[in-house]
């Protein structure tokens, strides 16, 4: 089971923000090899006496319902919390989605980390120019949440494409073809790749050599855009044809190999990122402590 929600996306576009939250929850469940089966929620809003808050609440309900129908995941319970304000200032509209999935055979569970040097790395799904409301836009470009809301752009989700990507992943998992699977969300592809390289119980950190074709997109959009409906997978090179055949109707692109102890990312064979995995993992693990000077 998992919990997902993005108040920033929902503040910008409540209906699509709710769809994105449900889709991300389903994708996270699928990435361990589980079929999504049901949803619960906690819907957090400011005062419903404000017309704009009640409108966003209504839009969230409609977006959530549309996505849940698409994934065939009934909403079995939920909670609504209004009047979340301090000194008249309300929180962002934040639907939190709890998704539960079922794994029929626990031998087919998948984890997110890369496993073996030489494994191929591929992406299911397509990257678009989705930087407008991204972590990159706030962290690197310095845009405030209010500026992102005024801009009014969030990643657009095609629920049919999302279902196709998720069903493909489950098919690959059922055939025991995958060594890892990890969804792309906050921070985009580069952040997701780094997370795949980090250490886990019983496994040291491991690197990756990545080369991406630009296809007319900027390096920033390719590396840090937050397009939905994307999953990073890894698998043994000798079963490439089996994986490609099983993913036949889904966007599928091999982007690199598991290798050494560095993360190296090139675009059109031009190096863009090169970092030692242990250094990246230290930043990831210790960010809160560093902010608090612990």
- Asked whether the predicted pLDDT for residue 195 surpasses 80, the reply is yes
DSSP annotation of 289 reads: H
Query: What pLDDT is attached to residue 203?
Result: 82
Across residues 98-125, what is the average pLDDT? Answer: 96
In whole angstroms, how far apart are CA 241 and each of 7, 201, 237, 247, 292?
41, 31, 9, 10, 49
User: Where do runs of H (alpha helix) occur along 83-235?
Assistant: 135-139, 145-151, 159-174, 188-197, 219-224
Binned at pLDDT 50, 70 and 90, residue 138 comes out as very high
- Asked whether the predicted pLDDT for residue 148 surpasses 70, the reply is yes
In whole angstroms, how far apart are CA 234 and each of 7, 34, 111, 182, 245?
31, 17, 11, 9, 15
Residues 6+ apart with CB under 8 A from 139: none
Q: Distance between CA 154 and CA 150 in Å, rounded?
A: 11
Query: What pLDDT is attached to residue 201?
Result: 78
Across residues 164-180, what is the average pLDDT? Answer: 97
Nearest Cα residue to 162 out of 285, 19, 286, 60: 19
- Asked whether the predicted pLDDT for residue 289 surpasses 80, the reply is yes
According to DSSP, the residues that pair with 118 across neighbouring strands are none
Q: Angle 167-172-175 (CA atoms, 0-180°, nearest 5)?
A: 125
Binned at pLDDT 50, 70 and 90, residue 200 comes out as confident
Across residues 145-158, what is the average pLDDT? Answer: 94
In whole angstroms, how far apart are CA 238 and each of 128, 173, 182, 234, 261?
30, 17, 21, 12, 23
For 258, how many CA atoms within 13 A lie in the half-sphere containing its CB?
24
Across residues 126-139, what is the average pLDDT? Answer: 95
Binned at pLDDT 50, 70 and 90, residue 294 comes out as low
- Asked whether the predicted pLDDT for residue 183 surpasses 90, the reply is yes
Residue 152 CA, chain-centre distance (Å), reads 20
CB-CB contact of 127 with 189 (8 Å): yes
Residues 6+ apart with CB under 8 A from 251: 123, 124, 125, 126, 165
List phi, psi (to 5°) of 37: -130, -20
Radius of gyration of the chain from Cα atoms? 19
Tokens at residue 183, please? 């969804």
Query: What pLDDT is attached to residue 190?
Result: 97
pLDDT digits (tens, 9 = 90+) for 225-253: 999 999 999 999 999 999 999 998 999 99
Binned at pLDDT 50, 70 and 90, residue 78 comes out as very high
Across residues 113-134, what is the average pLDDT? Answer: 96
SS3 79: strand
Across residues 86-113, what is the average pLDDT? Answer: 95
Query: What pLDDT is attached to residue 77?
Result: 96
- Asked whether the predicted pLDDT for residue 153 surpasses 80, the reply is yes
Tokens at residue 171, please? 């098919």
Percentage, residues of the chain above pLDDT 70: 100
DSSP per-residue letters across 180-205: EEEE--TTHHHHHHHHHHS-BTTB--
Tokens at residue 218, please? 């900027």
Q: Average model confidence (pLDDT) for the chain? A: 95
pLDDT digits (tens, 9 = 90+) for 20-63: 999 999 999 999 999 999 999 999 999 999 999 999 999 999 99
- Asked whether the predicted pLDDT for residue 291 surpasses 90, the reply is no
pTM exceeds 0.85, yes or no: yes
Q: Distance between CA 187 and CA 182 in Å, rounded?
A: 13
Nearest Cα residue to 121 out of 249, 228, 263, 24: 263
- Asked whether the predicted pLDDT for residue 260 surpasses 90, the reply is no
Query: What pLDDT is attached to residue 106?
Result: 93
């Amino acid at each position: 089971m998992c919990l997902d929600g993005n108040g920033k996306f929902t503040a910008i576009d409540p209906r699509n923000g709710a769809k994105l939250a449900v889709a991300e929850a389903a994708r996270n469940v699928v990435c361990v090899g589980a079929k999504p089966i049901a949803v619960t929620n906690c819907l957090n809003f400011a005062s419903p006496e404000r017309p704009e808050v009640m409108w966003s609440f209504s839009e969230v309900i409609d977006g959530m319902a549309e996505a849940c129908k698409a994934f065939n995941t009934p909403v079995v319970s939920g909670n609504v919390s209004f009047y979340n304000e301090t000194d008249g200032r309300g929180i962002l509209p934040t639907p939190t989605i709890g998704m539960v999935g079922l794994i029929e055979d626990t031998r087919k569970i998948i984890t997110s980390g890369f496993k073996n040097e030489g494994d191929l790395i591929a992406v299911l799904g397509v990257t678009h120019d989705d930087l407008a409301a991204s972590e990159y836009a706030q962290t690197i470009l310095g845009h405030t949440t209010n500026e992102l809301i005024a801009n009014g752009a969030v990643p657009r989700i095609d629920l049919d494409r999302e279902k196709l990507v998720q069903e493909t992943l489950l098919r690959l998992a059922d055939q025991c073809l995958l060594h890892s699977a990890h969804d792309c969300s906050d921070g985009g592809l580069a952040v997701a790749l780094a997370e795949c390289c980090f250490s886990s119980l019983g496994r040291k950190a491991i690197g990756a050599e990545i080369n991406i074709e630009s296809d007319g997109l900027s390096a920033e959009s390719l590396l840090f855009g937050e397009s939905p409906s994307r999953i990073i997978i890894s698998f043994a090179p000798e079963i490439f044809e089996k994986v490609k055949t099983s993913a036949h109707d889904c966007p599928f692109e091999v982007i690199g190999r598991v290798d050494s102890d560095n993360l190296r990312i090139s675009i059109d064979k031009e190096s863009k990122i090169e970092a030692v995995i242990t250094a990246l993992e230290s930043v990831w693990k210790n960010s809160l402590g560093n902010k608090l000077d612990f």
